[in-house]
C-alpha cells in the first residue's frame, strides 16, 4: 500500500479566456475559387493548344488537377499554381514520351 500520504493545498487561478476571430467570409473564398479555376483553365488551354498529339490531353489535364490540388492548400494558390503546373506538365510529357519509347522497344523485341 501507499504510505506516502502528503496533503497538498490546491490553489485555483482565474479562468483564462480566448477571443476567437472568424475566418474570411464565404464570398471571398468563392471569388478566389473562381479566379483560380479561370487561371487553371487558361493555362491548360494554352498548353493544350500547343500540342500536336491528342494522347497528351489526359496526362496534361491530370497534371493540371494535381497542381491545382497542391497549390490550393498553400497561402497563395494563384501565385504558386502556374509554376507547379509547368513542372507537372513537363513531368507528364516526359513520362508519356518514356512510355512511348518503352512501348516501341517492346514491340521491336517481340517482333510485332
Is residue 77, in this structure, part of any structural domain at all? yes
Total residues belonging to the chain:
112
Is residue 5, in this structure, part of any structural domain at all? no
Is residue 21, in this structure, part of any structural domain at all? no
Is residue 52, in this structure, part of any structural domain at all? yes
Distance CA 82, CA 68 (A): 9
Is residue 41, in this structure, part of any structural domain at all? yes
Is residue 8, in this structure, part of any structural domain at all? no
Q: What is the pLDDT along the chain (112 residues), one digit of tens a residue?
A: 567 787 878 888 888 787 888 766 655 566 678 889 999 999 999 999 988 888 899 999 999 999 999 999 988 899 999 999 999 999 999 999 999 999 999 988 887 6
- pLDDT score for 83: 96
Distances (CA, A) of 69 to 16, 81, 84, 87: 39, 9, 10, 14
- pLDDT score for 108: 84
- Number of domains within the chain: 1
- pLDDT score for 101: 93
Is residue 90, in this structure, part of any structural domain at all? yes
Domain that holds residue 70: 26-110
- pLDDT score for 28: 57
Amino acid at each position: 500500500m501507499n504510505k506516502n500520504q502528503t496533503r497538498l493545498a490546491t490553489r485555483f487561478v482565474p479562468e483564462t479566456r480566448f477571443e476567437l476571430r472568424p475566418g474570411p467570409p464565404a464570398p471571398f473564398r468563392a471569388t478566389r475559387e473562381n479566379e483560380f479555376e479561370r487561371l487553371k483553365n487558361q493555362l491548360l488551354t494554352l498548353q493544350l493548344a500547343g500540342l500536336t498529339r491528342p494522347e497528351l490531353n489526359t496526362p496534361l489535364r491530370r497534371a493540371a488537377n494535381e497542381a491545382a490540388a497542391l497549390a490550393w492548400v498553400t497561402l497563395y494558390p494563384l501565385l504558386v499554381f502556374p509554376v507547379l503546373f509547368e513542372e507537372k506538365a513537363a513531368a507528364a510529357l516526359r513520362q508519356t514520351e518514356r512510355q512511348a519509347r518503352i512501348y516501341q522497344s517492346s514491340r521491336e523485341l517481340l517482333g510485332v
